[in-house]
Amino acid sequence: MQFAPRNHSLWPNNFSSRHASTRSASPEPDDEWKRRLRRQIEDNFRAMLNDAKVRLEEQCRADYTRKAKYINEYQDSEERLRRMAEEEYEQKLQYERDLRRLSTGSTAPAYLQNEQQSIMNTFNHPREPLDRPDSQSPPLFPRAEDYTPRYTSASASASSRATQSGYRHLRTSSSVGRLGDHPKPLSSASRYATQEAPAAAPDPGLRKREAEARKQEAQDIREARAVNERLADEVRQRTEVLSHWPVESRSDGLAFLQSQSNSTQEIAKRPTREDRVQISRDMHIGAGVELILKQQEELREQQRELKQLAEDLRRREAELTRREEVLRSGRADNDIGRSFQEEVQRRDEALARQLQEDEVRRARAQNRDPRRARTLSGGSWGTSSTSSISSASSAASASSAWSAFSSKSASTAATTASSRVSSASTAAAGKSAYPTFSSASAAAAQHSSGYSSASKPTSAKESPPPRGWSGTWSSASASIPRQQASQPSSRSSSIPRSGTTSSASTSRATAPPPAPPPPPPPPPQWANWAKRQEEFVRSQQEAFKREQERLARARGAPQISKAEAVALIAKHDAAWMTLPASVRLGWDTLPWPVLRAPAGAEEITGVAVEAYVRAPDEGRTARDRVRELLRRWHPDRFETKLLPLVEEEERERVKEGAGAVVRALNECLTRLNSGE
């Protein structure tokens, strides 16, 4: 319905109606209303963003090769959704402001006037013209039974709010014209208003469309009722069956019905033919995705096994290193023991030389004065024996220090020292001029030969050497010069038992050369040293052989062309742009700076990285590319932003590869700076 503009009025524009408020409301909505609107729009935005994320994951699982494209589409969708949310917020806020201004009597904007005019055009029943001054004004809206609106828009709710606030914009026949010409409420002066303009011709197609909508709605209602009745019949039948069951089984039946509560809803959700086709397609795609996931799981299992083998190899190398350290420490201990044994041997030799000098002095004294020598022989022997015993005691005390290092070597050294001292003392006693012993010589003889009686006269021939001391006994006897064996005839005639002394001298002169002491036994940890050393050498040979085979394969691989190198570098640059937004990363998805995809960190060498850096690239030098790659692969950046996105089973392997890349790049930068 079209209104003619009102060109005259008997009332001024600032006329205040009794329905109007004395204070004008602020057109700006309060903060609570804005927060509710913003929360509602944000919830809708998050829901749509979650749907987009789910769609992105499905697309990536279906076709992993186009992951970068899908990620770019997702980012564009996110930006569009954010702009749409902001625009929706501004539109609704402005719409609320305009409605509040309109409620205070201000002129409505053009879009609001058009919306309200379209509402008025839906009134198909013309109202009775008011040609009498005292006639009553028609209501704001026609009766509910006169028309059936298809939906309730925001403008209708705004009009209802305006009606509740007391503003009657369409009250009387003075509302001739468009709504924008009626900013103020009307009063009883409407009786003087002009006659209402004729209503516009009704749209003949509107009634037909409304009738079709009603029929469709009735059909939907009948179908919903049929579905509800069918569900009710099924529930009724199950209830009747349960009523005939025994009491014990009713609880089971009720539990079964509760578990199958969702199955009754499936009756109203029968899939159509298109749905079945789509389901079959999804199943086919799902089977392909399952196959890909299974292959990925097998690859992860193989990588896990390789990682376990590498761990075992590192563990074995650490064990070999530890054993080598133990071996080196054992060698050092052996050197210390050998030096101590040599020190003990030097002391024994010094003691033997001292005894030899004493014997020489005694022989010279006997040659000069035989009588004095006979009277002092006992005292000289006692002095010699005492000194010998004290020397033996010092040697034994010195050898006790070696016992702290090795008990077996210490006992051997102490036994050797004591045997040498005792044998030397016994040899000196055999050359003595008298067959009797003093107390000191008896003690020395008892210590060396093991006899319990100190007063029994014995000779060198009657005292055999102790068991196990034959070598040292003979060496001590042979250390005395042979010239002492043949003394002057005066000495031999004055000493009884001269035959005994001469026989002892003859036995000392014909003694065999001394046998060297046996070497100390090896430590227990040296038992399997040869076997471990052989295993270590074999493992090193196998590792060297594997490295040579890898180098041979690398030399025999086909060379990459210039175009392929340029394409590879461009692909890596594009991959670096999408890595931060990736959901999951792995060894094969990272752009390693080598011309051939590496199988492990050992293949990322300085030569391979330098070949990648020196590949042809327009606009960037090799030094610039090295610096850019160092910024990308720096541990502080890589381990904080990209390494957490890597799968757990490949994280340690990727970390080792990143370290190898950084080391190779530093070497390459050093060579470039030095001009090589």
Instruction: Check if the beta carbon of residue 585 is closer than 8 Å to that of residue 575.
Output: no
Of 38-52, 258-272, 317-331, the poorest mean pLDDT is in: 258-272
What is the share, in percent, of the chain residues with pLDDT greater than 90?
A: 4
Q: C-alpha dihedral over 531, 532, 538, 544, to 10 degrees?
A: -160
State yes or no: pLDDT of 609 exceeds 60: yes
Burial code (b: 16+ CB inside 10 Å, e: under 16) for 224-254 equals eeeeeeeeeeeeeebeeeeeeeeeeeeeeee
3-state SS assignment for residue 585:
strand
Q: How far apart are CA 334 and CA 261, in angstroms?
A: 85
Q: What's the pLDDT at 294?
A: 87
Work out the pLDDT band at 264, boundaries 50, 70, 90: low
Of 119 and 480, more confident: 119
pLDDT for 428-449, tens place per residue?
334 333 333 333 333 333 433 3
Q: What's the pLDDT at 664?
A: 92
State yes or no: pLDDT of 399 exceeds 70: no
pLDDT for 465-494, tens place per residue?
444 444 433 343 434 444 443 444 444 344
Average pLDDT score over the chain? 67
Work out the pLDDT band at 134, boundaries 50, 70, 90: very low
Phi/psi of residue 473, nearest 5 degrees = -60, -45
Instruction: Check if the beta carbon of residue 565 is closer than 8 Å to that of residue 615.
Output: yes
Highest mean pLDDT out of 343-357, 375-389, 646-660: 646-660
Instruction: Check if the beta carbon of residue 650 is closer than 8 Å to that of residue 587.
Output: yes
Highest mean pLDDT out of 105-114, 408-417, 441-450, 616-625: 616-625
∠ CA(222), CA(227), CA(228), 5° rounding?
Answer: 95
Q: What's the pLDDT at 593?
A: 92
Work out the pLDDT band at 61, boundaries 50, 70, 90: confident
pLDDT for 514-561, tens place per residue?
666 665 555 555 556 777 778 888 888 888 777 776 666 565 455 678
State yes or no: pLDDT of 661 exceeds 90: yes
Give the other-Cβ count within 10 Å of 612's Cβ.
26
Q: C-alpha dihedral over 639, 640, 646, 652, to 10 degrees?
A: 30
Q: How far apart are CA 114 and CA 104, in angstroms?
A: 19
Q: Sketch the domain layout of the chain as residue ranges.
A: 31-192, 204-242, 330-509, 558-674
Q: How far apart are CA 632 and CA 652, in angstroms?
A: 18
Of 124 and 305, more confident: 305
Q: What's the pLDDT at 606?
A: 85
Q: How far apart are CA 201 and CA 649, in angstroms?
A: 77
Instruction: Check if the beta carbon of residue 642 is closer than 8 Å to that of residue 580.
Output: yes
Work out the pLDDT band at 242, boundaries 50, 70, 90: low
Of 58-72, 240-254, 349-363, 594-608, the poorest mean pLDDT is in: 240-254
CA-based nearest residue to 239, from 229, 228, 224, 254: 254
Q: What is the pTM of this model?
A: 0.25
Q: What's the pLDDT at 525?
A: 56
pLDDT for 168-206, tens place per residue?
444 433 434 444 444 444 444 444 444 444 555 567 778
What is the H or E stretch that residue 21 is in?
none
Q: Which residues pair with 646 in a beta bridge?
A: 585
Of 115 and 384, more confident: 115
